Structure 1
């Protein structure tokens, strides 16, 4: 009897917990190489890649149709698929790159079961790349972060140097197999290994040596590529993860947290969207994973059409929300909720506490955007020197006048007033800079 009651109670709890909002962040599908290799034997050309570099391929489109079908099946009881597209239910934003825009189109065509994929009845929003501080990572708009990368601070740690040494023979072997004279390290190996992967996953592998397509060497190089991407956003030791994340992936987590608290509403409607999509890149997912402190052991480069899913549930019995976080990376589908939140179920308050260390309160300040330039400092110093001379002369004149007047006035309050006026220090312009809180251009 107790067993039956337990089952009934279990089903009643499950029935009370309902999915009411989903935010998806995904990587584009397979593409052409970012640059055509000129020094290797791979033979990149417009004959193989007719649309040029960094472009979504037919395989890439199909990868996102497959992800779209996966998501349609996962949310079949949540999203109103039985109705025509309604803008109140969905909002899609992409980085301003052909491959991410077309990935969104391909994915949502399958997600909404559009019979003709090219005839897509929904808008995909974007921002110019140079102003997109939400989905483009590493974000070189951050002055401090840009300086860290330029000075190769991450590459100077003992852990990074050990990794470079660990994979040195593999990098040399890769170059040898490709008849490439470039000296590859963890810092630049992706520039050619990316081309290898593009050939592999677009079925143009005839010119790629078999050892670079599968087997132990390929697995080690794949591992190295993942570590190279991870160290864009943290040092190997993890000592600077929080610092760097506050300038990079923590910005995205801050936006996600705000959306989970109060999801976007399309204008004209009172109810929030059911499905919010960010179509982006592997580095976007990598920055988020590092900031979330998830998947950090044996870090893998986010595969084509990989996706982070943030699902918000409403419990009618407690009138509270909880969050689940899932990660689809190639054939792996992993529950990250406990890993990033600390426990499952995860309340919004718990998630906020878990992410709080990496969410910047003032992105401009942490990126040193409000620091004065050397030229400005020199100008301020010059003005300060002039002001000091003027003040000194003023004091000299005042004291002389005061002595010559033989202190004719016996009112000490008059002297106190003059001292007060002259003792007003020059304001430190940089000590009270008004807060310029970073506003995510999310909507």
Structure 2
């Protein structure tokens, strides 16, 4: 019985339709925050000024793709590339150095319009921020923490500590604490906890609280538009496919701006080296899908992120449809304040009318001048007007 059974099984397998093509990873986009660094600045009464940090302010501590034009993000990019792509075969130029040079692309800080947030200049965004400052949530948060903010101002020597600037104090103290420096007596665990909470509120102020979707169009939506463009290009069978991985080396505000635009922000500052991952797959039915992950803790696997309105494995067309509302169509125009747009149109209209009027006046003066400049011609005098002899 065994032989006929085996024969039937073989025939069945031979007649069965071929297995569908396996799901394959086609393209990956990484957006990560730089690694551990020294403080960006010290507060006036800080016992640890720049001389305390051998590498200076705002620099990475252990190590000296597109990246923003900051040492810490450029260095993070190089470090990550060194780990991802050790030299092999002909790439090894020195057997004692397990590293190969890989270019990192950047633009001057003044020209950065993709990775440094908040993006500016954008008058409409500034108007939204002024409106946010008038919101009940912002006013109540300020009132609840007024005495605490005044205490921080007195202890640090900073003249004005607000919900928007307090993150600088927390950041400096956090860096000093991380590097085992003794903090001043006023910096108790409760103070650090409260500073952290206010710092997290400051991130929400930048990209949410009031008119979050419009803020997204003016901020994180700009970066998301580029990410969507890259994924769409990777899914286009007719386009030449060269890139498999694209990495952005940036900042915590970059991650917050993007995640607030996607409405997947967890309300907490992204730790050093946190990474938001986009994976584009070609499914077994030849369609494409997008999966997102967030890696924010060493030693643990990235946890999945789900775009609201879609599954974690989101069809690419659904991903594009759901994110369309936060993609700016004309960022420069959307950044203009409505009254400014109307004023601009009025000014243009007045300028056109003024130009036409000026031309008409010139034409009229020209005609008058030509008439007056003509010499007098012969004049006929009637016989009736002559005197009789």
| TM-score over 0.5 for the pair | yes
**Structure 1's 389 and 184: CA in aligned 2 closer, same or farther, altered over 3 A?**
closer
In structure 2, distance between residues paired with 1:104 and 1:208: 34
Who is 2:377 aligned against?
Answer: none
Who is 2:175 aligned against?
Answer: 198
In structure 2, distance between residues paired with 1:379 and 1:19: 52
Counterpart selection for 1:53 from 45, 52, 57: 57
Counterpart selection for 2:256 from 286, 289, 292: 286
Deviation at 1:242, TM superposition (A): 0.9
SS in structure 1 of the partner of residue 258 of structure 2: helix
Deviation at 1:338, TM superposition (A): 2.1
Contact 1:251-1:359 within 8 A present in 2 as well: yes
Counterpart selection for 1:258 from 229, 235, 238: 229
Counterpart selection for 1:24 from 30, 34, 46: 30
Per-residue CA distance 1:83-115 (angstroms, 9 max, x = gap)? xxxxxxxxx111111111001011121222469
Who is 1:145 aligned against?
Answer: 125
In structure 2, distance between residues paired with 1:387 and 1:381: 10
**Structure 1's 264 and 55: CA in aligned 2 closer, same or farther, altered over 3 A?**
farther
In structure 2, distance between residues paired with 1:383 and 1:292: 44
Query: Mapping of 1:94-113 within 5 angstroms?
Result: 94-113=67-86
Deviation at 1:199, TM superposition (A): 1.2
In structure 2, distance between residues paired with 1:335 and 1:324: 11
Contact 1:326-1:337 within 8 A present in 2 as well: yes
Deviation at 1:358, TM superposition (A): 0.5
Counterpart selection for 1:276 from 246, 250, 272: 246
In structure 2, distance between residues paired with 1:219 and 1:166: 15
Alignment length (residue pairs): 335
SS in structure 1 of the partner of residue 311 of structure 2: coil
In structure 1, distance between residues paired with 2:98 and 2:177: 26
Who is 1:398 aligned against?
Answer: none
* 5+ residue gaps, structure 1: 1-11, 63-91, 395-443
In structure 1, distance between residues paired with 2:303 and 2:159: 40
CA-based RMSD:
3.5
Per-residue CA distance 1:27-68 (angstroms, 9 max, x = gap)? 111222222322x2333222x12333222222xx49xxxxxx
- 2:311 paired with 1:306: no
Q: TM-score, normalised by structure 1?
A: 0.66
Q: TM-score, normalised by structure 2?
A: 0.75
- 2:139 paired with 1:161: yes
In structure 1, distance between residues paired with 2:260 and 2:176: 28
In structure 2, distance between residues paired with 1:339 and 1:120: 37
Contact 2:43-2:158 within 8 A present in 1 as well: no
Who is 1:347 aligned against?
Answer: 315
Query: Mapping of 1:191-230 within 5 angstroms?
Result: 191-201=168-178, 203-209=179-185, 211-212=187-188, 215-230=189-204
Per-residue CA distance 1:184-223 (angstroms, 9 max, x = gap)? 221211122221122123x1422444845xx343223212
**Structure 1's 126 and 218: CA in aligned 2 closer, same or farther, altered over 3 A?**
same
**Structure 1's 44 and 248: CA in aligned 2 closer, same or farther, altered over 3 A?**
same
Contact 2:292-2:312 within 8 A present in 1 as well: no
Deviation at 1:389, TM superposition (A): 8.9
Contact 1:325-1:337 within 8 A present in 2 as well: yes
Counterpart selection for 1:248 from 219, 233, 242: 219
Query: Mapping of 1:31-70 within 5 angstroms?
Result: 31-38=37-44, 40-46=45-51, 48-58=52-62, 61=63
In structure 2, distance between residues paired with 1:390 and 1:112: 68
SS in structure 1 of the partner of residue 206 of structure 2: coil
In structure 2, distance between residues paired with 1:339 and 1:375: 39
In structure 1, distance between residues paired with 2:342 and 2:38: 41
Who is 1:441 aligned against?
Answer: none
Who is 2:373 aligned against?
Answer: none
Deviation at 1:18, TM superposition (A): 2.2
Deviation at 1:290, TM superposition (A): 0.8
Per-residue CA distance 1:357-378 (angstroms, 9 max, x = gap)? 1101111211129966968955
Contact 1:264-1:272 within 8 A present in 2 as well: no
Query: Mapping of 1:382-421 within 5 angstroms?
Result: 383-385=352-354, 387=356
In structure 1, distance between residues paired with 2:207 and 2:271: 18
Say which is worse superposed, 137-146 or 254-263, in terms of deviation: 137-146
In structure 1, distance between residues paired with 2:235 and 2:69: 21
- 2:161 paired with 1:184: yes
In structure 2, distance between residues paired with 1:264 and 1:352: 12
Per-residue CA distance 1:236-263 (angstroms, 9 max, x = gap)? 2xx4111111111001111111111113
